[in-house]
Every structure is written in C-alpha cells, then in structure tokens.
Amino acid sequence: MLGPVVCDIASTRLSAHEASRIAHPLVGMVILFTRNYENPRQLAELCAEIHAVKPGVLIAVDHEGGRVQRFREGFTEIPAMRSYGELYARDPERALRAAGAAGFVLASELRACGVDFTFAPVLDLDWGRSAIIGQRAFSSDPRVVARLAQAVTHGFLAAGMANCGKHFPGHGWAQADSHVALPVDERPAADIESADVMPYAWMGISLVSVMTAHIIYPQLDAVPATFSRRILRGLLRERLGFDGFVFSDDLSMKGAVNAGGYPERARRALDAGCDGLICCNAPEEVDALLPQLEFTADASWRERAARLAPRGRAPEREQLEKLSLYRRALELMDPA
C-alpha cells in the first residue's frame, strides 16, 4: 500500500486517464467490481496491466462468498458465511475445517488472477435485523464469529493473502443500509462493547486490517464511526490494542455524505484514525481530491500498510488446479 487512497475503474480495460490516476503518489490500492470482470483470463490481464502502471499498488475486491462474490463464472462459488455458522452449531470442528478450506479456495483463486486482497471476513453479528448483513454474518454469537473468522483467515494466510474484518464496531444491529442512508445504533455502549466489538479483540494479531462502519452509535459518539476519534483511536486502538490497518468504508456512500464534501470526508476520516480511504463510483471526486489531500506516511503507517501485501508467489490458474492442496480444499469447504 503506497498511499491512502483506494480508487476504482470503470470497465474491463484500463483507460489512459485511469492509469494516470493510479500512478498518483497517494493512490495505494485499486478495488475491482463485477463490472470489471469477464473471465479469469481477462481479469489476470487487467491486474497485470494495473500492476505494470504502478509496481507495488495493491488490487482488492469485495469477495466474501454468498451474495457478495464479485467474480462468478470461472470461480468457485463460495457459500454464504452463515452456512458455516449453521454447521458450527452441529459440528464445530468440521465447520472450522470447512471454513478454513473455503478461505484458501477464495484467496488462492483471486491471487491466481492477480488480485492481492479481499475485504473479508465480515465480523458483524447476525442480530436478525440488518438486511444488508443477513447471510453475510457467521452467527449472532461473537465467540462463533471469532472462531470461524479465524479459520477463514488461516485459509487466506495459507494462500498468502491478508484479511480485513468489517464493519467496526458492528453493522449487525442497525436496520438501515449505509449505502443509501445513515443508520443509527441506539444501544448502550456496554451492549456494543461486550458483543459486537469482541471478535475484533479476540482475533488479536491475526487481524491485519479492519473496515469502519458508516453508522452513528450515539452512546459512543455523535458522529459515524468512520469519522469518530473516540471509536477508532479510543476504542479500537487504545482499548482493544489493534495495531493493524484501518480502512474507511466507501466515502461515496450515503452514510458518509453528512460529513461534508469529498475532501472534508477524507480529511475527517484520516483525522479520526483511518489509514486508507475507499473512494468508489466517484472518479471526478477522486480526481479533485488527490491534488488537495495532505498526507504523509510515517513509519507506523508504512508498517501497518506492509502487512496488507500478498506473501509468496501465487501459481497461475492452470497451475493452481493441479495442486493437491487446492483440490483437497475444494472437497473440504462444503458446509452441507
């Protein structure tokens, strides 16, 4: 991660203007979506082109499994994480084994195409209230969430990929979708801190990064978590001792617009404690932001950012399919 800005691109090929944007010193990551995908070969070519524009820039995607899987044709269908929580209730050890295998398959297939990083796993608790979370959550029990998330991230690690827990401090209770509204979670601070926050604490040093929630928790602070020093610096950094990388959720989402214009949102997120600024579906805003954004990477930021990079050389897709470890993981990942 060479800079704090995470930007996107419009299509399946890189335009000259997008290449110029990625080359800006403050851009450290490119996030891909379904619109950027045709097939594994095209994806590998696109990733190679992006990496050639700026060696060291990371390529990421929201690829969790279930309904949030950006690349489908040519990729293994990863079950919704809820299915592993349901299996855990019947057979905990088998669920942990299957979740680890799923994490390996997910990460190894992405890396085989040149994708470095996925924003997963979801650490939100399933309170049965949030439609936007729903099946993406492992369980309503924070202990089950932590154990299964740990298993998934061990699978990522075996494939050489880091991880990102989301959405801190918890998106499972608020009913509104922060893509289109600003949710509010009115619960007492003690309720949030004793349940939703706990997977982040229990995962310890294996949690490489987190993504914030565009949600207001009035009992924690009067502003959304993304812009809250009390939540990001006070709760996450100081009380939980988290020393990994902190991504804002997408600053283009409706849950962030009340924080001001794009430059103001970016400034406030950095001031609150975010290390990375996700900026999607707003290319003109990003172009205007980059010349205005003031950011200097200190030694601690560079250390946190370095942990996001993939480890080891990834096999190409044809090679991956011949590996016995990959074939065994395909057998073990089924939660049925």
> Residue 152: pLDDT above 70?
yes
Look at residue 178 in the predicted model and tell me its pLDDT. Answer: 62
Q: Where are the beta strands (DSSP E) in the chain?
A: 5-8, 27-32, 58-61, 63-65, 68-69, 117-118, 165-168, 209-212, 245-247, 277-278
Contact 164, 210 (CB under 8 A): yes
pLDDT digits 0-9 by tens, 254-264: 756 676 788 99
Cut 0.85: pTM above it: yes
Look at residue 3 in the predicted model and tell me its pLDDT. Answer: 96
Give the residue from 63, 126, 122 showing the smallest Cα distance to 89.
126
Residues that are catalytic:
179, 249
> Residue 179: pLDDT above 70?
no
Look at residue 92 in the predicted model and tell me its pLDDT. Answer: 98
258 versus 119: the higher-pLDDT residue is: 119
Distance between CA atoms of 68 and 156, rounded to whole angstroms? 17
pLDDT digits 0-9 by tens, 277-290: 999 999 999 999 99
Burial class (CB in 10 A: 0-12, 13-18, 19+), 16: exposed
Q: What is the mean pLDDT of the chain?
A: 95
Which residues are paired to 27 by β-bridges? 5
Look at residue 181 in the predicted model and tell me its pLDDT. Answer: 73
Structure tokens at 119: 């924003």
Look at residue 306 in the predicted model and tell me its pLDDT. Answer: 97
> Residue 221: pLDDT above 60?
yes
5-25+53-331: CATH topology is TIM Barrel (3.20.20)
Four-residue CA torsion sign, 253, 267, 306, 318: positive
Per-residue confidence band for 180, with pLDDT thresholds at 50, 70 and 90:
low
Q: Where are the beta strands (DSSP E) in 26-83?
A: 27-32, 58-61, 63-65, 68-69
Look at residue 58 in the predicted model and tell me its pLDDT. Answer: 98
Look at residue 259 in the predicted model and tell me its pLDDT. Answer: 62
Look at residue 208 in the predicted model and tell me its pLDDT. Answer: 98
Look at residue 233 in the predicted model and tell me its pLDDT. Answer: 98
Per-residue confidence band for 190, with pLDDT thresholds at 50, 70 and 90:
very high
Give the residue from 187, 186, 179, 184 showing the smallest Cα distance to 256.
179
Output phi, psi for 27, to 5 deg.
-90, 125
Contact 101, 155 (CB under 8 A): yes
pLDDT digits 0-9 by tens, 319-335: 999 999 999 999 999 99
CB-side neighbour CA atoms (13 Å) of 311 = 11
pLDDT digits 0-9 by tens, 9-68: 999 999 999 999 999 999 999 999 999 999 999 999 999 999 999 999 999 999 999 999
The residue assigned the tokens 């939703």 is: 196
Residue 20, number of CB atoms within 10 A of its CB: 11
Lowest mean pLDDT among 31-35, 192-196, 248-252, 298-302: 248-252
